[in-house]
Amino acid sequence: MALEDFVDLKLDHHSKDGIEIVDVEGEIDVYTAPRLRELLIELVNNGFYQLVVNMEKVEFLDSTGLGVLVGGLKRVRAHDGSLDLVCTQERILKIFRITGLTKVFGIHDTVDAAIGARKSEK
């Protein structure tokens, strides 16, 4: 990757079928994770309790990033909400497996699958 192409972290969000989709692109580490944490807190404070975090464009995730996701999950669950993940990248899934967090998060192949799984639980 050329240096000029480097994106540390890009965050975006939009609603789909009543669920807030958070699109994450780049690297989630000790430097950038606070921005994701702030976004998740902002969404919960604004009443969005059904979240899907799309991690298909995440290139790196460390334990600080995992901590932010766990923190987000705790916050939405306090409002009977949910936080599901979309991820098919083996290098990202590996850290979820090492830490046992595959049992904590619903991890789906696509955003539509995540929405479908959430709708079917209602």
Partner 1 sequence: MATVELSFTPLPAHVRTARLIAAAVARRSGVAESLLDEVRLAVGEACSRAVEEHQLHCPAEPVRLALSDIAGRFEVEVTDTSGHGTGSRPGGRGGGDGAGLPAGFGIAVIAGLAEEVEISETPTGTSIRMSWPSAGRPG
- 8 A C-beta contact, residue 19 and residue 118: yes
Q: Is 25 exposed, middle or buried (0-12, 13-18, 19+ CB in 10 A)?
A: middle
- 8 A C-beta contact, residue 118 and residue 52: yes
Task: Write down the least CB distance from residue 115 to partner 1, Å.
Answer: 25
Q: Is 18 left (phi over 0), alpha (psi -120 to 50) or beta?
A: left
Is residue 67 a contact residue for partner 1 (CB under 8 A)? yes
Is residue 31 a contact residue for partner 1 (CB under 8 A)? yes
The residue type of 86 is V
- State which of residues 77, 94, 112, 119 lies at the interface with partner 1 (CB under 8 A): 94
- 8 A C-beta contact, residue 110 and residue 77: no
Is residue 69 a contact residue for partner 1 (CB under 8 A)? yes
The mark string for 35-54 relative to partner 1 (x by CB under 8 A, - otherwise) is --x-----------------
Looking at the Cβ atoms of 64 and 102, the one nearer to partner 1 is 64
- State which of residues 25, 29, 35, 106 lies at the interface with partner 1 (CB under 8 A): 29
User: Applying CB under 8 A, which residues contact partner 1?
Assistant: 8, 27, 29-31, 33-34, 37, 60, 62-71, 74-75, 91, 94-95, 98-99
